[in-house]
Amino acid sequence: MIAIYPGSFDPITLGHLDIIQRGSRLFDRVVVVVSSNPHKVPLFSTEQRLQQIRQSVSPLPNVEVDQYEGLTVTYAKARQAQVLLRGLRVLSDFEKELQMAHTNKTLADDLETVFLATSTEYGFLSSSLVKEIARFGGPVDHLVPQHVALDIYQCYAKTPLLSVPNATASQKPPPSPLPPPKGAD
């Protein structure tokens, strides 16, 4: 059984990877499909996102990565997929995703939507949140794969923080813009 996991993945997060890994255990093949959202300006080009995702899922032999412009159901039909895979974090996700699932059912009644609840540790995580943290100089290496964190730091021209596992001892975190708290030595 083939499952399609569509999204913008700008950037791919550990929450996305959690859904992909779990989906890969449930389905014969999972196709991660990068699509563009006309209402968003992406941080990374489609090709960059495809490369980031391919590197992230390389240990999963039954996962492939592709891109598509247009209706997801059209792509799913062309790939002879039976399932659309979606992750749910919070109640507001459910409302939006349920509406989309019902809409997709009117377009392709032989295509099922399967929802996976995110693992607890990723319930708060979104690509938008990652970008906001990075934009203000915060660390994101605990939210995205290591190679993606490095791409994000480079994009925002930030020096990777010491929490990045591959950082060398000679790298220092950027100076704090805030004075130390009173009474701190």
Q: What values do phi and psi take at 6, rounded to 5?
A: -90, 155
Q: Is 89 marked as binding a ligand?
A: yes
130 found inside a domain: no
Q: Is 9 marked as binding a ligand?
A: yes
58 found inside a domain: yes
182 found inside a domain: no
The predicted model scores a pTM of 0.82
**Per-residue pLDDT band at 169 (split at 50, 70, 90):** very low
Query: Any catalytic annotation for residue 49?
Result: no
The share of the chain scoring above pLDDT 90, in percent, equals 77
Q: What values do phi and psi take at 38, rounded to 5?
A: -65, -10
Q: Which of 22, 77, 89, 105 is catalytic?
A: 89
Q: Is 128 marked as binding a ligand?
A: yes
CATH number assigned to the domain comprising residue 100 = 3.40.50.620
Quote the pLDDT of residue 181.
Answer: 39
Query: Any catalytic annotation for residue 22?
Result: no
Query: CB neighbours (10 Å) of residue 69?
Result: 11
69 found inside a domain: yes
Which residue has tokens 């990374």? 44
Distance CA 158, CA 43 (A): 15
**Per-residue pLDDT band at 37 (split at 50, 70, 90):** confident
| pLDDT of 153 higher than 80 | yes
164 found inside a domain: no
pLDDT tens track for 94-114: 999 999 999 999 999 999 999
Q: How many domains does the chain have?
A: 1
Quote the pLDDT of residue 160.
Answer: 52
| pLDDT of 28 higher than 80 | yes
136 found inside a domain: no
87 found inside a domain: yes
**35: closest CA among 56, 6, 57, 11?**
6
Residue 117: give the domain boundaries: 2-122
Q: Which of 24, 49, 56, 127 is catalytic?
A: 127
The share of the chain scoring above pLDDT 70, in percent, equals 85
Query: Any catalytic annotation for residue 39?
Result: no
153 found inside a domain: no
Distance CA 64, CA 177 (A): 43
| pLDDT of 135 higher than 70 | yes
Q: Is 124 marked as binding a ligand?
A: yes
Query: Any catalytic annotation for residue 79?
Result: no
Please give the distance of CA 122 from its chain centroid, rounded to a whole number.
Answer: 11
